[in-house]
Structure 1
Amino acid sequence: MEITLATPSLLFPAISLLLLAYTNRFLGLASVVRALHAAHTAAPHEIYVQQIQNLRTRLKMIRTMQFLGVVSILLCTVAMFCLFLGWLEAGKATFGASLLFMIASLIVSAWEIQISVRALDVQLKDIERSEKGRGIFTR
């Protein structure tokens, strides 16, 4: 396989956008945590405890996604430096490692999305449960 200095640079826009998306997810989750804290402080409820466990897991996953993304862009930069110095094999290996870290980051992202959907499902079930008691939902 032929690799040039420009090859790793193709990942920079993708990695940058991905890290931005991860940061936005983190900020969104942080606001949910703050709102949940306020709601739980005002009126403790069992559903808040379930959501807290879910949010803690998701926060750890987002931290992992961000870390893997940062390592990916770092390795991509190192690959470019190796190629700049003419170290073709080191550049290829480093770029390959960069791609593996990107793949790992995307896998964790997909997993976090699944957990996020489960958290929303808990909320929806709670709403359905409370509304069934009032006769609004019928399944």
Structure 2
Amino acid sequence: MMEITINTPALLFPAITLIMLAYTNRFLALSARIRALHDEYLGGAKEKHIIGQIKNLRSRINLIRYMQMFSVISFLLCIFCIYAIYKGWLHWAHYIFGVSLVTLFSSLLLSLIEINKSTKALELELSDIEELSESNLFKDIFRREDE
């Protein structure tokens, strides 16, 4: 087994905290959008795309909750890993650090899923514009701005 030092889990501290900050910013942006859509809905605009967006936002909020949870667990496991290294429990430190990496990976995987859902929400928003329905990856990459 490779040697693990206190610096190894400590290297994840800034990465995890920045990821948690990004997740919090996403959560705040979604909260504002949900409140705006809710006000529109209560104001009588019960259009189909508003209901679809609210459903999409609800699932994205749940994803962000789990993303944040896994990030916090990863952060706590890094702290436990440092404590285990400090106490000389290197065997346990390896396993704790491994689980910390797995939870961080899970958080990032959920983030990828949430990003995919956010693009679907934007497609819902733009679905009433007919010209946009014919786009694809290659057309979007090579399209000029003046088109």
- The question of a shared fold, defined as TM-score above 0.5 by the shorter chain, is answered with yes
Give the Cα separation in 2 of the matches to 1:117 and 1:5.
40
2:142 corresponds to: none
1:34 corresponds to: 35
1:6 corresponds to: 7
Give the Cα separation in 1 of the matches to 2:39 and 2:27.
18
1:54 corresponds to: 56
**1:106: how far off?**
0.2
1:63 to 62, 65, 72: 65
Q: Which amino acid aligns with 1:65?
A: M
**1:6: how far off?**
1.1
State percent identity of aligned pairs.
45
2:47 corresponds to: 45
Q: Which amino acid aligns with 1:104?
A: S
Aligned pair count reads 132
Q: Aligned pair 1:96/2:71, yes or no?
A: no
Q: Structure 2 stretches of 5 or more lacking a match?
A: 135-147
**1:99: how far off?**
0.3
Runs of 4+ in 1 over 3 A off after TM superposition: none
Give the Cα separation in 2 of the matches to 1:97 and 1:120.
35
Give the Cα separation in 2 of the matches to 1:120 and 1:57.
15
Give the Cα separation in 2 of the matches to 1:124 and 1:53.
16
**Secondary structure at 2:117's aligned position in 1?**
helix
**1:13: how far off?**
0.1
TM-score w.r.t. length of structure 2: 0.86
Give the Cα separation in 2 of the matches to 1:33 and 1:90.
44
Q: What is the correspondence of 1:72-83 to structure 2 with a 5 Å cutoff?
A: 72-83=74-85
TM-score w.r.t. length of structure 1: 0.91
Q: Deviations over 1:96-128 (max 9, x none)?
A: 1000000000000000000000000011112x0
Q: Structure 1 stretches of 5 or more lacking a match?
A: none
Give the Cα separation in 1 of the matches to 2:42 and 2:49.
13
Of 74-83 and 35-44, the range deviating more from structure 2? 35-44
**1:40: how far off?**
1.2
Give the Cα separation in 2 of the matches to 1:78 and 1:113.
31
Q: CA RMSD in A?
A: 1.6
Structure ranking higher in helix proportion: 1
2:141 corresponds to: none
